[in-house]
């Protein structure tokens, strides 16, 4: 075990996969220079600029390029600098990457990994802070993973690169410099398996990405009040490990879902809709969602802080579900 | 060089350029002092372009700009206090703290929008030209953008439509990567285009295009004047590439005062410029302009220093205002989503 | 020579049959026919190797046939049968048969150009001297993806042949209503990409231009742009009355029909006789009839297929 | 009141808003898709020369152009045609139009109308059958209207033009031939008001766009089985009329949500979540969803029919929830 930052863990996954498989390419804006956050640091020096490829600022063409290359059997890993910029590549992502396999009747494979970071941190404002995972869950043909710590960042990215379908790996910018233990050497986490982060018997709290940290903090606080919170991190939003979540719910009878994105047609809505159908009779209270307010992300530090769902809001929601209104 | 400007106009242009330079130097110092303002981009070294071009606009004209917007806003008359406040996320900011540096905008001064997406503002500028033509207004829309935009598909889509429909638009491309900088020199952000010069990509669209020294206010004035006249007379769009050399302080991901604060006396005492920065200051439009004013006897050193001191004092007050100004009510995060 | 003629007749016969079947509701969906443009597909693909890759757009039938895709599987695909090349999941605009080198078609104007960029990138990396070719119409020239792709192909010297089928109409409006530029090859020149504008109804001229470009790409010379000036004798899609065109324009182009023109040239040169010409047409029509017949007996896909192949493995 | 087709009502709305407001212009003109009814638009072209534009195939540029024009004082209605093409316009619609008022602290607005034709149209396959409204719902700042009847298309389209917000009018080509009563004069239907299209007491069906017609069909058939279904047409997703939905559930205790989006993170997910969160105590059974199955839209007819939310599927779900 080594202690690495989240961004170092990503770097290590990329390095190992570049070394392991000649078909892996890292493509994106400024990636040969290390990328704006250092995820690709040192890779061009080690593997050459032929496999760690700098591109012009043409997100649409890059997504199309990577999709076309994947259809030819390469295993490209592209970096989209901010999830907000994926709007420029949506056509290629939705209309090509996600569908070519299906539309071609299985003739074409698209072993593509899209690395992208998101979240409200650093006062970037509405065009650099969105959380858009629901879009990708909504597009059949894409898999969606969201690592919440350095070990998962490495394990899920490695699994994504080796997967034969297009996988979107959504990182959180605010987690980049957090540290954690990461297994040495090859480390993969199967896509589609949730992680139990903290056991508890009173209420199940499902949280994604950075909200896992907040959920654990809340669980600690509420333990002092006599409420035992079970925290589950789905890690992969599609495919979703519904069994782990409903098994927990059968025990606790109560569920709170937390994510940083807005609620409207988001991951929380989907999970809630699935759970109420699958485990209606086990529910002792209405399920609650905690997401960002229905607004673009503001830039001002105080507004941004007010925007991001925090421990206080989450604790309030959990108390309400456990104790009643 | 200032033959077409009278002394008062020449000094006003200098004031604008100094205002922009000092505003951003102050911003870098404030950020280094530990006040968070998010990722920001400065216009240092490019002041001549915005100051000279925007001075020619009429009140009804529209401007669309980018993440590198401070210079354009100030040149158009934005209040430095409110602009600083916006950048610091305060309630008194033009955008009530919702926009920050990336989206700072002043609608009352004809700014349409400030898009932080590469190429995002270009179709918006074309849209404003389209609207002006439809409404029969004698208004020109000027889009400011960087050289990287020429790599975005939406630029071509927008240029094509502006040409096809002869819209009153000036495409003002501020190429701050002139002189083999940019991606090839290992900098952020890099621009990569397979043509010999940027204006080549414009030629097939039948849009008049010219490249000028962005650090030469007279050259910028000349081409902008022609472009505005063409637009107002129904002649359609023009593309201008204003070339400047990247300020070394803009090379790191976060701006740094790596050349130190600008000393206007460099203009008449070049020996005082530190050796390491001589190349850059030799090209710096601001220093070159001060020297020209001085040589043409339009201003003496005392007047120039006094103007600089006034600008700096005003900006210090503006920054203090912004720092002391209250943050917005957190609940206002929910406002302004809809009309 | 006869092979070129046969390919063109097969495309023509195929699409006429498709039109007939569409009228009888035996094939479905949004169909875009290339009748009148056969020389581009036939000439270009004749200049390519089997291992070269082709990406097409929403008007792909001719390209697929010229690249050697089994026509029965194409009929079956258009009819939504399990025996279709995409097992009924794709339809006309999403034909794919990568084993023949026909990578895919796509329904997004301009999107195919960016996709082909990636195919060319992969060809370069495979180091087997393969080249990629993309067919697109003049309408794609106004899409952002097209311009982004030209720049990147030039920067990276990708072995990509941009084959523009300039048929003068972007969907329902003449090109002049879409852009001030009448020849899209000018955009390629901007980026230093060698370009040629040829008579797209002259199959030999197309073949020569593509041969030169492919040789350059194989030798590491990067992309080329070949603009083929042509005309579609049908509407934008099957069922489009195409009232936006002058009748005189249509009849003028009919006299330049690429198949009859080539046949006449061959006879005049003494390469073959009138009888041989007619035999080629008859053979092509017979093979198309047989393929259509075969396709019509294909099974419908099972509804269980609906959820298969969303993911690999 | 006179009865006209949906297509006629839609064209009438376009004509009336253009007569009433000189700032309104049409960018793109396939408001009736490729349907035979599209000839109706010729009258608009004749009546308003110079106010109907046919742009090149540059959706990104076109959407941006319209947003810019709206910010500068026009009221453009952009026809993006097939909903799938909106993805090209996402940078402009999502990042510019939706954010501009908020980001500018209320200084600016982009009163633009984007028009799209969504959903399965028969053989459209994976790239021409999208229903992107749920994705648009996930990015605050846009108003989303989905007409389902001739009267609604006229009133909602007019309201979209009057609105100072960017609005997406999500329409469906399979509604064009529906007939219904439509007032002669120009009128608007306020956003955020769902309509109970059929009263019932046993089960609530919430739907929008074409699915309202399918729900009504299913409800009509269910009567024979002694099931009295209530059909609620949301009409707008943003703003959402929660109260009408919750009131109906309070009455019936059962909810089926019908939606043409893909199921995962679709409109039905949000309505089901809302009902289970805020109407939990009223629910006698779990909320059921009838949505397009989570696969790219296949081309082949039987496959397409299999994934489509049909009246038969709605009926089967009603029976199941009543058990």
CB atoms within 10 A of CB D205: 33
| Identity of the highest mean pLDDT range in B178-187, C114-123, C157-166 | C157-166
The whole-number pLDDT of residue D209 equals: 98
CB atoms within 10 A of CB C50: 11
B339 touches C: beta carbon within 8 Å: no
User: B139 to chain D: nearest residue by CA?
Assistant: D72
- The DSSP annotation for C88-124 comes to TSS-GGG--BGGGTEEEE-SSTTHHHHHHHHHHHHHH
Phi, psi for A204 (deg, rounded to 5): -95, 130
**Beta-carbon-side half-sphere exposure of residue A76 (alpha carbons within 13 Å):** 30
| Identity of the highest mean pLDDT range in A103-107, B144-148, B198-202, C71-75 | C71-75
* Average pLDDT over all residues of chain D: 93
Report whether pLDDT(B184) > 50. no
Could you tell me the strand order of the sheet in which D255-262 lies?
A: D195-198, D229-233, D203-207, D255-262, D288-292
Does some domain include residue C309? no
Contact C94, C106 (CB under 8 A): yes
The whole-number pLDDT of residue A325 equals: 64
- Tokens at C198, concatenated: 């040829």
CB-based contact C108 D127, cutoff 8 Å: yes
Candidates B98, B124, B148, B173, partner chain A, best to mutate (most A CBs within 10 A): B98
pLDDT in tens, C287-312: 999 999 999 999 999 888 877 887 66
CB-based contact A280 D286, cutoff 8 Å: yes
pLDDT band at B191 (very low <50, low <70, confident <90, very high): low
Secondary structure of chain D as H, E, C letters: CCEEEHHHHHHHHHHHHHHHCCCEEEECCCCCCCCHHHHHHHHHHHHCCCCEECCCCCHHHHHHHHHHHHHCCCEEEEEEEEHHHHHHHHHHHHHHHCCHHHHCCCCCCCCCEEEEECCCCCCCCCCCCCCCHHHHHCCCCCEEECCCCHHHHHHHHHHHHHCCCCEEEEECHHHCCCEEECCCCCCCCCCCCCEEEECCCCEEEEECCHHHHHHHHHHHHHHHHCCCEEEEECCEEECCCHHHHHHHHHHHCCEEEEEEEECCCCHHHHHHHHHHHHCHHHCCCCCEEEEECCCCCCCCHHHHHHHCCCHHHHHHHHHHHHC
When pLDDT is averaged across residues C188-216 and rounded to a whole number, the result is 96
Q: Name the residue among C139, C123, C113, C142 with its Cα closest to residue C225.
A: C113
Candidates B127, B133, B171, partner chain D, best to mutate (most D CBs within 10 A): B127
pLDDT in tens, C259-298: 999 999 999 999 989 999 999 999 999 999 999 999 999 9
A303 touches B: beta carbon within 8 Å: yes
The whole-number pLDDT of residue B182 equals: 39
pLDDT in tens, D63-120: 988 888 888 888 999 999 899 889 988 988 998 888 888 878 888 888 999 999 999 9
Does some domain include residue C312? no
Domain count, chain C: 1
Give the whole-angstrom CA distance, residue D257 versus residue A4.
46
Q: What percent of chain A has pLDDT over 90?
A: 74
CB atoms within 10 A of CB D176: 23
Q: What percent of chain B has pLDDT over 90?
A: 66
A90 touches D: beta carbon within 8 Å: yes
Task: Give the catalytic positions of D in this structure.
Answer: 128
The whole-number pLDDT of residue B339 equals: 65
Give the whole-angstrom CA distance, residue D190 versus residue A216.
44
The whole-number pLDDT of residue C109 equals: 81
Give the whole-angstrom CA distance, residue B141 versus residue D104.
19
| Identity of the highest mean pLDDT range in A292-296, B60-64, D71-75 | B60-64
Cα dihedral value C41, C43, C48, C49, nearest 10: 90
Report whether pLDDT(B187) > 60. no
Secondary structure of A195-256 as H, E, C letters: EEEECCCCEEEEECCCHHHHHHHHHHHHHCCCCCEEEEECCEEECCCHHHHHHHHHHHCCEE
Report whether pLDDT(D49) > 60. yes
Domains and CATH numbers, chain D: 3-181 (3.40.50.970), 195-322 (3.40.50.920)
Judged by DSSP in three states, C53 sits in: strand
Report whether pLDDT(C248) > 80. yes
When pLDDT is averaged across residues B144-165 and rounded to a whole number, the result is 89
Judged by DSSP in three states, C49 sits in: coil
Say which of A96, A101, A128, A259 is annotated catalytic. Answer: A128
When pLDDT is averaged across residues B224-239 and rounded to a whole number, the result is 97
Contact C149, C117 (CB under 8 A): yes
Q: How far is C192 from chain D (nearest CA, A)?
A: 24
Candidates D21, D25, D103, partner chain B, best to mutate (most B CBs within 10 A): D103
CB-based contact D265 A296, cutoff 8 Å: no
From A65-69, C6-10, C164-168, the region with the lowest mean pLDDT: A65-69
Residue C169 maps to which CATH number? 3.40.50.970
- Tokens at A259, concatenated: 């994510």
Contact B164, B231 (CB under 8 A): no
- From the list D126, D301, D306, which residue is nearest C28 (CB)? D301
- From the list C28, C30, C240, which residue is nearest D128 (CB)? C30
Q: What percent of chain A has pLDDT over 70?
A: 100
D317 compared with A74, residue with greater pLDDT: D317
The whole-number pLDDT of residue B178 equals: 66
Q: Name the residue among A289, B96, D125 with its Cα closest to residue C95.
A: D125
Report whether pLDDT(B37) > 90. no
Q: Any idea where the domains of chain A sit in the sequence?
A: 2-182, 195-323
Contact A251, A196 (CB under 8 A): no
- Tokens at A86, concatenated: 């994926």
| Identity of the highest mean pLDDT range in C14-23, C232-241, C298-307 | C14-23
A127 touches B: beta carbon within 8 Å: yes
Phi, psi for C4 (deg, rounded to 5): -60, -45
pLDDT in tens, C56-92: 999 999 999 999 999 999 999 999 899 999 988 888 9
pLDDT band at B141 (very low <50, low <70, confident <90, very high): very high
The whole-number pLDDT of residue C313 equals: 60
Report whether pLDDT(A245) > 90. yes
- From the list D61, D74, D165, which residue is nearest B154 (CB)? D61
Judged by DSSP in three states, A22 sits in: coil
Give the whole-angstrom CA distance, residue D261 versus residue A96.
19
When pLDDT is averaged across residues D254-281 and rounded to a whole number, the result is 97
User: B154 to chain D: nearest residue by CA?
Assistant: D61
Q: Name the residue among D20, D281, D17, D50 with its Cα closest to residue D161.
A: D17
Report whether pLDDT(B26) > 50. yes
Q: Name the residue among D123, D174, D176 with its Cα closest to residue D10.
A: D176
- The DSSP annotation for A26-76 comes to EEETTGGGT-TTSTTTTHHHHH-TTTEEE--S-HHHHHHHHHHHHHTT-EE
- From the list D71, D100, D165, which residue is nearest B128 (CB)? D71
The whole-number pLDDT of residue C206 equals: 98
B94 touches D: beta carbon within 8 Å: yes
- Tokens at A187, concatenated: 């480390």
Burial class (CB in 10 A: 0-12, 13-18, 19+), B8: exposed
The whole-number pLDDT of residue B242 equals: 95
Q: Name the residue among D242, D235, D201, D229 with its Cα closest to residue D311.
A: D229
Q: Any idea where the domains of chain B sit in the sequence?
A: 7-261+312-320
Q: Which residues contact D300 (CB under 8 A, 6 or more apart)?
A: C80, C81, C84, C88, C89, C91, C300, C301
A157 compared with C309, residue with greater pLDDT: A157
Cβ-Cβ contacts under 8 Å, A300 against chain B: 89-90, 93, 97-98, 100, 327-328
> Beta strand pairing status for B209-213 and B238-243?
parallel
Place of tokens 């020369």: D49
**Per the confidence metrics, is the pTM higher than 0.90?**
no
Report whether pLDDT(A221) > 90. yes
Report whether pLDDT(B36) > 80. no
Does some domain include residue C231? yes
Chain A and chain C share a number of CB contacts under 8 A equal to 147
pLDDT in tens, B8-24: 999 999 999 999 999 99
What are chain B's partners, defined as 3 or more CB pairs within 8 angstroms? A, C, D
> In CATH terms, is domain A2-182 a member of 3.40.50.970?
yes
Give the whole-angstrom CA distance, residue B185 versus residue A93.
31
- Tokens at C48, concatenated: 């390519």
Secondary structure of A79-95 as H, E, C letters: EECCHHHHHHHHHHHHH
The whole-number pLDDT of residue B116 equals: 66
* Average pLDDT over all residues of chain B: 89
CB atoms within 10 A of CB D177: 12
- Tokens at B183, concatenated: 């991606």
Contact C134, C162 (CB under 8 A): yes
Domains A2-182 and A195-323 share a fold: yes
Q: Is D141 left (phi over 0), alpha (psi -120 to 50) or beta?
A: left
* Average pLDDT over all residues of chain A: 94
Q: How far is B34 from chain C (nearest CA, A)?
A: 40
CB-based contact B194 C191, cutoff 8 Å: yes
Q: Which fold has domain B7-261+312-320?
A: Rossmann fold (3.40.50)
Say which of A8, A16, A29, A59 is annotated catalytic. Answer: A59
Q: Name the residue among B58, B46, B43 with its Cα closest to residue B168.
A: B58
Give the whole-angstrom CA distance, residue D194 versus residue D210.
15
- From the list B115, B132, B158, which residue is nearest D72 (CB)? B132
When pLDDT is averaged across residues D266-274 and rounded to a whole number, the result is 97
Give the whole-angstrom CA distance, residue A26 versus residue A157.
13
Encode D260-272: b = buried (16+ Cβ within 10 Å), e = exposed. bbbbbbbbbbbbb
pLDDT band at B60 (very low <50, low <70, confident <90, very high): very high
Give the whole-angstrom CA distance, residue B136 versus residue B168.
11
pLDDT band at B183 (very low <50, low <70, confident <90, very high): very low
> Which residues constitute the domain of residue C88?
2-295
> In CATH terms, is domain A195-323 a member of 3.40.50.10490?
no
Q: How many residues does chain D have?
A: 323
pLDDT band at B190 (very low <50, low <70, confident <90, very high): very low
């Amino acid at each position: 075990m080594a202690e690495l930052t989240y961004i170092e863990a990503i770097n290590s996954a990329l390095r190992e996969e570049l070394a392991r498989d000649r078909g892996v390419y890292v493509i994106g804006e400024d990636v040969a220079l290390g990328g704006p956050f250092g995820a690709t640091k040192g890779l061009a020096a080690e593997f050459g600029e032929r496999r760690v490829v700098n591109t012009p600022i043409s997100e649409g063409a890059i997504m199309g390029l990577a999709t076309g290359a994947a259809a030819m059997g390469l295993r490209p890993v592209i970096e989209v600098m901010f999830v907000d910029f994926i709007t420029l590549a949506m056509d290629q992502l939705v209309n090509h990457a996600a569908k070519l396999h299906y539309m071609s009747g299985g003739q074409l494979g698209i072993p593509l990994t899209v690395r992208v970071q998101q979240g409200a941190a650093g006062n970037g404002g509405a065009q650099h802070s969105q959380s858009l995972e629901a879009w990708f869950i909504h597009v059949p043909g894409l898999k969606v993973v969201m690592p919440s710590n350095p070990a998962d960042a490495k394990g899920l990215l490695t699994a994504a690169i080796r997967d034969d379908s297009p996988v979107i790996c959504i990182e959180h910018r605010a987690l980049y410099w957090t540290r954690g233990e990461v297994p040495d050497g090859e480390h993969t986490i199967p896509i589609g398996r949730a992680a139990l982060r903290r056991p508890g018997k009173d209420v199940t709290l499902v949280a994604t990405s950075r909200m896992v940290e907040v959920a654990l903090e809340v669980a600690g606080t509420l333990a002092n009040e006599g409420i035992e919170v079970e925290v589950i991190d789905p890690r992969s939003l599609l495919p979703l490990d519904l069994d782990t979540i409903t098994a927990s719910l059968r025990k606790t009878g109560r569920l709170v879902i937390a994510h940083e994105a807005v609620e409207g047609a988001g991951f929380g809505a989907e999970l809630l809709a699935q759970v109420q159908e699958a485990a209606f009779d086990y529910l002792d209270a209405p399920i609650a969602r905690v997401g960002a307010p229905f607004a673009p992300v503001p830039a001002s530090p105080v507004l941004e802080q007010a925007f991001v769902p925090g421990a206080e809001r989450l604790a309030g929601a959990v108390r309400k579900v456990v104790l009643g209104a | 060089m200032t033959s077409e400007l009278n002394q008062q106009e020449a000094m006003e242009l200098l004031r604008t350029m100094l205002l922009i330079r000092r505003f951003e130097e102050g911003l870098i110092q404030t950020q280094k002092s530990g006040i968070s303002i998010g990722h920001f981009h400065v216009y240092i070294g490019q002041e001549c372009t915005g100051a000279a071009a925007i001075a020619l606009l009429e009140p009804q004209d529209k401007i669309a700009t980018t993440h590198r917007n401070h210079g354009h806003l100030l040149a158009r008359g934005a209040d430095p206090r409110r602009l600083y406040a916006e950048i610091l996320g305060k309630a008194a900011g033009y955008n009530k703290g919702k926009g920050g540096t990336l989206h700072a905008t002043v609608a009352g001064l004809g700014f349409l929008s400030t898009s932080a997406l590469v190429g995002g503002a270009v179709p918006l500028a074309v849209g404003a030209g389209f609207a002006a033509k439809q409404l029969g207004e004698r208004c020109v829309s000027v889009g400011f953008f960087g050289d990287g935009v020429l790599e975005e598909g939406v630029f071509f889509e927008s240029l094509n439509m502006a040409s096809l429909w002869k819209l009153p638009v000036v495409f003002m491309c501020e190429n701050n990567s002139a002189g083999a900088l940019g991606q090839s020199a290992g900098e952020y952000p890099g621009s990569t285009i397979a043509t010999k010069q940027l204006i080549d990509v414009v030629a097939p669209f039948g849009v008049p295009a010219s490249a000028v020294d962005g650090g030469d206010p007279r050259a910028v004035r000349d081409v902008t004047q022609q472009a505005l006249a063409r637009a107002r007379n129904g002649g359609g769009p023009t593309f201008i590439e204003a070339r400047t050399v990247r300020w070394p302080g803009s090379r790191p991901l976060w701006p740094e005062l790596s050349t130190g604060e600008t000393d206007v006396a460099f203009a008449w005492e070049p020996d005082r410029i530190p050796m390491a920065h001589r190349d850059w200051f030799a090209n710096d439009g601001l220093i070159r302009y001060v020297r020209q004013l001085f040589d043409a006897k339009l201003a003496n050193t005392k007047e120039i220093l006094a103007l600089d001191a006034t600008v700096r004092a005003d900006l210090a007050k503006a920054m203090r205002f912004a720092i002391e100004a209250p943050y917005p009510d957190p609940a206002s995060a929910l406002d302004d989503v809809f009309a | 020579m006869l092979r070129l003629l046969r390919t063109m007749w097969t495309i023509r016969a195929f699409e006429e049959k498709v039109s007939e079947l569409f009228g009888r509701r035996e094939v479905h969906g949004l169909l875009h026919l290339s009748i009148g443009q056969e020389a581009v597909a036939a000439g270009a693909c004749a200049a390519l190797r089997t291992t070269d890759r082709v990406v097409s757009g929403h008007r792909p039938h001719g390209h697929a046939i010229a690249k050697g895709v089994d026509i029965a599987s194409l009929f079956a695909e258009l009819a939504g049968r399990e025996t279709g090349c995409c097992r009924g999941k794709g339809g006309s605009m999403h034909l794919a048969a990568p084993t023949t080198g026909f990578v895919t078609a796509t329904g997004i104007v301009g999107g195919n150009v960016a996709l082909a960029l990636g195919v060319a990138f992969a060809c370069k990396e495979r180091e087997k001297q393969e080249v990629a070719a993309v067919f697109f119409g003049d309408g794609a020239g106004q899409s952002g993806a097209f311009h982004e792709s030209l720049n990147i192909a030039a920067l990276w010297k990708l072995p990509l042949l941009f084959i523009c089928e300039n048929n003068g109409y972007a969907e329902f409006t003449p090109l002049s209503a879409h852009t001030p530029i009448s020849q899209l090859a000018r955009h390629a020149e901007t980026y230093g990409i060698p370009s040629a504008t040829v008579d797209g109804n002259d199959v030999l001229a197309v073949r020569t231009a593509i041969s030169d470009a492919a040789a350059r790409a194989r030798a590491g010379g990067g992309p080329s742009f070949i603009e083929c000036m042509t005309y579609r004798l049908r509407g934008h899609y099957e069922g489009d009355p195409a009232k936006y065109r002058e009748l005189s324009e249509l009849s003028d182009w009919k006299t330049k029909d690429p198949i009859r023109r080539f046949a006449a040239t061959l006879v005049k040169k003494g390469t073959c006789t009138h009888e041989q010409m007619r035999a080629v047409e008859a053979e092509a029509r017979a093979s198309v009839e047989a393929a259509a017949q075969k396709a019509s007996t294909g099974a419908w896909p099972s509804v269980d297929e609906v959820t298969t192949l969303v993911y690999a493995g | 009141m006179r009865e006209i087709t949906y297509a006629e009502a839609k064209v009438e709305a376009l004509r009336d808003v253009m007569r009433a407001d000189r700032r309104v212009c049409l960018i793109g003109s396939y408001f009736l898709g490729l349907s035979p009814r599209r000839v109706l638009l010729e009258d608009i072209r004749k009546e308003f020369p110079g106010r109907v534009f046919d742009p090149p195939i540059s959706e990104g540029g076109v959407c941006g152009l319209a947003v810019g024009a709206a910010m500068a004082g026009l009221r453009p209605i952009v026809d993006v045609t097939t909903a799938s093409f909106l993805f090209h316009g996402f940078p402009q619609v999502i990042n510019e139009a939706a954010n501009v008022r908020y980001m500018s602290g209320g200084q600016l607005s982009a009163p633009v109308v984007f028009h799209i034709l969504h959903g399965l149209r028969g053989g459209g396959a994976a790239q021409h059958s999208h229903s992107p409204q749920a994705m648009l719902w996930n990015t605050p700042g846009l108003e989303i209207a989905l007409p389902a009847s001739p009267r609604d298309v006229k009133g909602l389209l007019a309201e979209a033009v009057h609105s100072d917000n960017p609005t997406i009018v999500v329409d469906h080509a399979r509604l064009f031939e529906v007939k219904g009563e439509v007032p002669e004069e120009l009128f608007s239907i306020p956003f955020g008001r769902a309509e109970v299209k059929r009263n019932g007491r046993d089960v609530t069906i919430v739907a929008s766009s074409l699915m309202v017609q399918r729900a009504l069909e299913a409800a009509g058939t269910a009567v024979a089985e002694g099931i009295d279904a209530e059909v609620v047409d949301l009409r707008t997703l943003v703003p959402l009329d929660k109260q009408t939905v919750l009131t109906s559930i309070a009455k019936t205790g059962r909810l089926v949500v019908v939606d043409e989006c893909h199921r995962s993170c679709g409109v039905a997910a949000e309505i089901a979540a809302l009902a289970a969160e805020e109407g939990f105590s009223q629910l006698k059974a779990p909320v059921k969803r009838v949505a397009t199955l989570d696969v790219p839209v296949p081309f082949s007819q039987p496959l397409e029919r299999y994934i489509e939310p049909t009246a038969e599927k709605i009926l089967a779900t009603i029976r199941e929830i009543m058990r």
